[in-house]
Structure 1
Amino acid sequence: MTIGVPGSEVALETSRLLLRPWRVAEAVVQRELWTERDPRVPPHRRIDADGHPTVEELENSIRNDELWSTGLLAVERKATRDVIGYCGLVDSGRGSAGEPELAFELLRRVWCQGYATEAALAVLEWATASGYGRLWATVWDWNTASRRVLAKVGFTETERREVDAVYGTTLFTTKQL
C-alpha cells in the first residue's frame, strides 16, 4: 500500500484501488451516489424535488471545496479506471477536536466486493502515519453493511447515539490508532 505524504495532495494505493482527489468530470459519479441513497437517509442528503444537487452544482463543489480535494477521496478501481465512490476523513464538527470522522460510500453495483473495507484500511493507515490517535465514524443503526465494514476495520460502537424518530438512530463508533 502506498501512502501520500501528509500535508501534500493525498493519494493512497492498494492492490486494487487508487484513492485520490476528485476530478470535476467525475461529478456524475457523485450525482449517482446521491440518486442511489436509501430513502431512510434524511432529505438533505438525497436529490430534492427540484433535482438538486445537479451535476453542475457538484462540479462546482469539486472545484471550490477542499473536502472533495483532500478529505473525501475518489475511490478508483485500478483495473478498470472507473470511480466507484469515496472514502476519507472529514471534520464534521460532531466529534472531538483532532479526531476526524471516517466516511465512505460506494455505488451499489460494487457492493459486497470488499472495496469499502479495502479503502477504509488505506485511509486508516494514512491516518496513523499522519499522527492521529483516534478516529470515529457514525452509521445509521439500520445500515448493517456499513456497520460490518466498520467492525472489520476495528471500530467499536460507543454508548453515544442520536435518535431521529423518522430516519432512525445514528450510532457513534471509535477506533484507537
Structure 2
Amino acid sequence: MTELHTDRLTLRRWRDSDLGPWAVMNADPEVREHLGDLLTREQSDASVARFQADFDRRGYGWWAVEVRATGKFIGFAGLDDVDDGMPFTGVEVGWRLARSAWGQGYATEAALAVLAYGFDTLEVPEILAVTTATNLRSQAVMRRIGMTRDPAEDFDDPGVPEGPLRPNVLFRIARGAGV
C-alpha cells in the first residue's frame, strides 16, 4: 500500500494502535454531527477492517492520517467509489479528523495529497466530494482544494432518512484543474 507524505502529514496503512483513537472519534457527537449515529467500538473496528480490505482489493481507499512530527493518529483521508444508489457515479475524496486536529489545515493538506494521487497515479479523470448541506466546514475544504459546486446537482441522499442529514451537496474537480 502506497504511503503519501505532505509537509506535516503521513497518510498510511491502518495500525492496531489506531483502533482506540478511531473509536473515540466515532463516539464523538461533534465529529459525527454530519455523519449520523455514533458508532460502537465494534462498528468502528469493523469499519477499519473494511477500509483495509477495500485498499487491498482496489489499490486505493481510506488512509490513516498521522502528524509527521509526533506520529499522532488524527483521522483518515482518501478515495472511495461512490455508493450504489446515488444519483451519480465516480470516485469520491473524503476526510474525517479528530476535533483536536480541526482548524489547522490538516484536512486541506491531506485532501490535496489524495487528489494528486487520484489524478497522477490512478489517472482518474474527475474526483467528487459529497457532504451534508449543513456541513459548511467540509464545504470550505472542498473549495480550498479547487472543487466547485453546481447547486443544480444538490440531492437528497437516498440512504438517509428524512431529516437534516438527508440534503447533500456535490462538488467536483477535473484532472488538470489544479488549485
Is residue 141 of structure 2 the alignment partner of residue 149 of structure 1?
yes
Q: Aligned equivalents of 2:92 and 2:24: distance in 1?
A: 23
Q: Aligned equivalents of 2:35 and 2:45: distance in 1?
A: 23
Letter in 1 for 2:63: L
- Structure 1 residues 175 and 32: CA distance shift in structure 2, 3 A: same
| Cross-structure match for 1:114 | 105
Q: Aligned equivalents of 2:101 and 2:68: distance in 1?
A: 14
| Cross-structure match for 2:164 | 167
1:34 deviation in Å? 0.8
> Residue 61 of structure 2: which of 52, 63, 71 is its match?
71
| Secondary structure of the corresponding residue to residue 66 of structure 1 | helix
Give me the TM-score of the superposition, normalised by structure 2. 0.79
| Secondary structure of the corresponding residue to residue 53 of structure 1 | helix
Q: Aligned equivalents of 1:55 and 1:61: distance in 2?
A: 10
- Structure 1 residues 56 and 135: CA distance shift in structure 2, 3 A: closer
Q: Deviations over 1:139-175 (max 9, x none)?
A: 1111111110000001111322233631231111111
Is residue 2 of structure 2 the alignment partner of residue 10 of structure 1?
yes
Contiguous gaps of at least 5 residues in structure 1: 1-8
Q: Deviations over 1:33-53 (max 9, x none)?
A: 21123445323xx22xxx453
1:55 deviation in Å? 5.9
Is the 1:42–1:167 contact (alpha carbons within 8 Å) kept by the matching residues of 2?
no
Q: Deviations over 1:101-141 (max 9, x none)?
A: 00100000110000000000011111111211100010111
Is residue 70 of structure 2 the alignment partner of residue 80 of structure 1?
yes
- Structure 1 residues 40 and 146: CA distance shift in structure 2, 3 A: closer
Q: Aligned equivalents of 1:25 and 1:61: distance in 2?
A: 17
- Structure 1 residues 53 and 160: CA distance shift in structure 2, 3 A: farther
> Residue 35 of structure 2: which of 37, 41, 46 is its match?
41
Q: Which moved more, 1:22-31 or 1:148-157?
A: 22-31
| Cross-structure match for 2:91 | 100
The CA RMSD over aligned residues, in Å, is 2.3
